Structure 1
Amino acid sequence: MTLSTELSTDLFIGGKSVAASDGSRFDVIDPATGQSIATVADASVADAIAAVDAADNAAPGWAALAPRQRAEILRRAFELMTERAEEFAQLITRENGKALPDARGEVAYAAEFFRWYSEEASRITGSVATAPNGANRILVVREPVGICVLVTPWNFPAAMATRKIGPALAAGCTVVLKPASDTPLTALAMAALLDEAGVPPGVVNVIPGRRSGAIVSAMLHDPRVRKLSFTGSTEVGRLLLRESADHIVNTSMELGGNAPFLVFADADLDAALDGAMIAKMRNAGEACTAANRIYVEASVAPEFSRRLAERMAALVLGPGLEDGVQVGPLVNQDAVDKVSQLVSDAVDNGARVLLGGQVPERAGFYYEPTVLVDVDPESALLREEIFGPVAPIVTFQTEDEAVRLANATEYGLVSYVYTGDLARGLRVSERLESGMVGLNRGLVSDPAAPFGGVKQSGIGREGGHEGVLDYTESKYIAVAW
């Protein structure tokens, strides 16, 4: 998949590649070098409405298609993505910066959403029951919610798209995908793949654009749009919820996280370190599920901290496409500046640097893998998403203290718990205020499981059977026979 010959960098509307209506384009930057690798059409409000028009025109035919036919198209998309996994991985690394092994893992995960929802397409069932008074039957059917606006982030440009497109198409919905402007190329490649898989024109439309607020707002105020699925920051999620209120648009929100990683003294430290490396360093820490706050029982904290620093020191930092690189650059300069500020603030408030803590002198947007100890529990580093390769460690004495520290946040996406006591593990898991828990496991994401948070980490679930139900409406029919 070479950018110059195979991948269109125009908008994808109604099954065709089209230029932005006003001719605007923007650069896509390689985080490893800071240099432009492509220019992409910059969608306007007019383009967004054209995409809604295309989705509206395609909606009746797609909804009427037999579930098995929709399933076969999604299955073909899975097969094509699997066949072209390496091309997709390299494209993701070029525009996102993540190390190639991480990109390969993302592609495999992303493809699985097409396979899972190809299987779920024919399992969207209703129900029939007798009314309690016996007067009639209660017939409940599930119908497609309608035209969906999908807004995806830059950190997983393939997986966040397939996690929304898969269930939407399985349910019989048509979609307009607005990808992050840092990573539009993967989304455009996805559009071409779905077209090849047999998705009819207008069912999937992709509109990259820098004018995100204006174009998403315009779509949310079009009465034909009935669903918004957004993955991104809590701050932007709040704004989109307000926008969605004007037309009472059905919303799914996968928002920010501030994941605690709890290590009790009875845990298998080798397993806990393995889990910490996955939960913290997958995608160089640029994940809403990343371990943001590491709480370790005081008696084992020195050993855990030392060994974590040793493991992180062994990681190879560099351009994601280079052999052997395990930690690529962050996505842009703003990301580097934010991480630097959070670390500096923590150090100013008494944190001690065991490893890293610096921006290396090289082209691109890099930050060194970093381990901090003696972190003030009130520091900004523990209140905000780090979104970088920084592991702050705080000690605790008791189970109650660990739970209190873990829950002391407005977020509630995922938590991690390591302990050798199963009863304690389940007890603590129930007490943690998060939508997901990794119990003695540093990775929770699975296409077959419901992914989502509580508190200000979101509304609704993606993945699993719940994920497809989020793209349906229940219709109740009262009938007697």
Structure 2
Amino acid sequence: MNHYSPISEISFDQNRLPTDLFIGGTWRPGGSGARIDVIDPSTGKPIAAVADASVEDALDAVSAASEAMPAWAATPPRQRSEILRRCFELMMDRQTMLAELISLENGKSLSDAKGEVAYAAEFFRWFAEEAVRLNGELYHAPSDANRIIVQYQPIGVSVLVTPWNFPAAMATRKIAPALAAGCTVVLKPATETPLTAYALAEIYREAGVPDGVVNVYTTSKSGATVSAMLHDPRVRKLSFTGSTEVGRKLLREAADTVVSCSMELGGNAPFVVFDDADIEAALDGAMIAKMRNGGEACTAANRFYVQRGVHQAFADGLAARMASLKVGKGYLASTQCGPLINPDAVERIGGLVDDAVERGATALTGGKAQPGEGFYFAPTVLSQVDGSARIMNEEIFGPVAPIAIFDSEDEAVRMANATEYGLMAYVYTTDLGRGLRVSERIEAGMIGLNRGLVSDPAAPFGGVKQSGLGREGSHHGIREFTEAKYIAASW
């Protein structure tokens, strides 16, 4: 349990938060006895200390998941479905508490955090319905030599590695389909935001998830613990959300034992605005696409390409809206833009902005870190940004919108595709034919056509190129945690 001074703006008892490892249905300290401080990015001060797992602890979690696997896989789909539905209901019953907790350890605005809880919970409702619809196939071989029977069976013990930016949703987006398919899991959340993962573990237990089916551990030795699990023959699945750089390393590790991998990696989303776009609608969408979670999202609009005829109107409008945002502690109701996750993020984004300005960009608003306690960077709009600037070629992960000009449709597509990433893209135009044509030409797994928000548990989430492998959500998501078994039969 936590023993730090409580924060008055938070309504729940912060000293009752679970902070130990959750393995085999029990809470226990890490084998080393060491703890990891969790920092409130709004103040820069510690709010809790969680257990620091060793390699042995991680392998104990694998053992717990392996022991629970046969019984959970044999549990009737309807029973698994009802447990998942109960997880959804409990999360929504505690939406305010969970949102405050997310804001406390992550820094995002309370309104964003409430939205995340609703989104995260929806994965349990969606996959509660998918659990009873994991249908097989039966058909004749073309030669008529035999029947082809296909069953979808749980793939096995699954290791889930999640980031800090959506501490609830990135976990439930993996846990829900895994459990629906009949798999057991070991979750390693980011050490920046572990409290949400542990709070959710208590909810899973209350909802009826059996001991060992979901295990959660935090560690300062991420590389060593994940590597040990990937080299354990009992582990058959890795689902990772994080940077492309780390994803490449994990793919190399997983190759040693041929572990199935789902990878949701980095993004560099273009936001394309044509001359015929509804500018007010485009500005509305831009604020959602850029500023959801303060820009700390892989789906965030990263590069703004605006056709010359509307460039000035769009740039001025976006600058006005960004300048008006209320920046403050994430858990205050008045806050519209909270802090970044840590001081390194502030320094990195400051370097990206400085590089763009040195290359000729103009800061229409913001452009600097904000002084005082906490890790804040002012909402920023840069115009006339050169394509060679680092900010147009690296994932920003913060409240900065760089804008460049284009003239033709072909040029817009070329600029949008000039990246190794291909997760998300946004297109604004009132010409439906152009919108669909451009959407087909842009190399991305997801397109927001005249929409600034695309994520939905019922839709396949994922990217192309170096933005990832596989899909999460929709009926595709549960298939990621299954193996197709073919049975040849004649009768």
TM-score normalized by the length of structure 1:
0.99
Of the structure 1 ranges 67-76 and 129-138, higher mean CA displacement relative to structure 2 is found in 129-138
Deviation of the 1:2 alpha carbon: 2.4
Deviation of the 1:360 alpha carbon: 1.0
Pair 1:228-2:244 in alignment: no
Distance 1:436 1:91 in 2: 30
Q: Which residue of 1 aligns with 2:477?
A: 467
Q: Which residue of 2 aligns with 1:348?
A: 358
Distance 1:186 1:439 in 2: 33
* SS of equivalent to 1:256: coil
Distance 2:457 2:260 in 1: 22
Letter in 2 for 1:107: V
Distance 2:278 2:451 in 1: 11
Letter in 2 for 1:22: S
Q: Which residue of 1 aligns with 2:73?
A: 63
Letter in 1 for 2:418: A
Q: Which residue of 1 aligns with 2:3?
A: none
Deviation of the 1:87 alpha carbon: 0.3
Deviation of the 1:323 alpha carbon: 2.5
Question: Gapped runs of 5+ residues in structure 1?
Answer: none
Distance 2:302 2:417 in 1: 13
Pair 1:4-2:45 in alignment: no
Distance 2:294 2:177 in 1: 28
Of the structure 1 ranges 209-218 and 454-463, higher mean CA displacement relative to structure 2 is found in 209-218
* SS of equivalent to 1:448: coil
Distance 1:266 1:63 in 2: 54
Q: Which residue of 2 aligns with 1:295?
A: 305
Superposed CA offset, 1:425-471 (max 9, x none): 00000000000000000011000000000000000000000000000
Q: Which residue of 2 aligns with 1:218?
A: 228
Deviation of the 1:71 alpha carbon: 0.2
Q: Which residue of 1 aligns with 2:178?
A: 168
Q: Which residue of 2 aligns with 1:384?
A: 394
Distance 2:195 2:215 in 1: 14
Q: Which residue of 2 aligns with 1:207?
A: 217
Q: Which residue of 2 aligns with 1:305?
A: 315
After superposition, residues 23-422 of structure 1 pair within 5 angstroms as 23-422=33-432
Distance 1:394 1:304 in 2: 11
Deviation of the 1:209 alpha carbon: 1.1
Letter in 2 for 1:4: N
Distance 2:312 2:52 in 1: 51
Deviation of the 1:378 alpha carbon: 1.0
* SS of equivalent to 1:4: helix
User: Percent identity, aligned pairs only?
Assistant: 66
* SS of equivalent to 2:338: coil
Deviation of the 1:136 alpha carbon: 1.1
* SS of equivalent to 1:304: helix
Distance 1:176 1:420 in 2: 46
Superposed CA offset, 1:11-61 (max 9, x none): 000000011011111100000000000000011100000000000000000
Deviation of the 1:215 alpha carbon: 0.5
* SS of equivalent to 2:486: strand
Letter in 2 for 1:458: G
* SS of equivalent to 2:131: helix
* SS of equivalent to 2:335: coil
Distance 1:274 1:210 in 2: 40
Distance 1:314 1:102 in 2: 17
Distance 1:402 1:256 in 2: 21
Letter in 2 for 1:82: M
Distance 1:247 1:24 in 2: 31
Superposed CA offset, 1:67-86 (max 9, x none): 00000000000000000000
TM-score normalized by the length of structure 2:
0.97
* Alpha carbons 2:22, 2:28 under 8 Å: kept: yes
What count of residue pairs does the alignment treat as equivalent?
Answer: 480
CA-atom RMSD in angstroms: 0.6
After superposition, residues 411-450 of structure 1 pair within 5 angstroms as 411-450=421-460
Letter in 2 for 1:242: R
Letter in 2 for 1:313: A
Deviation of the 1:169 alpha carbon: 0.1
* SS of equivalent to 2:15: coil
* Alpha carbons 2:158, 2:235 under 8 Å: kept: yes
Distance 2:315 2:177 in 1: 41
Superposed CA offset, 1:171-194 (max 9, x none): 000000000010000000111100
Superposed CA offset, 1:90-116 (max 9, x none): 000000000101101100100000000
Distance 2:143 2:321 in 1: 66
Question: Gapped runs of 5+ residues in structure 2?
Answer: 1-11
Deviation of the 1:128 alpha carbon: 0.5
Letter in 2 for 1:322: L
Q: Which residue of 2 aligns with 1:479?
A: 489
Distance 2:211 2:282 in 1: 48
* SS of equivalent to 2:306: strand
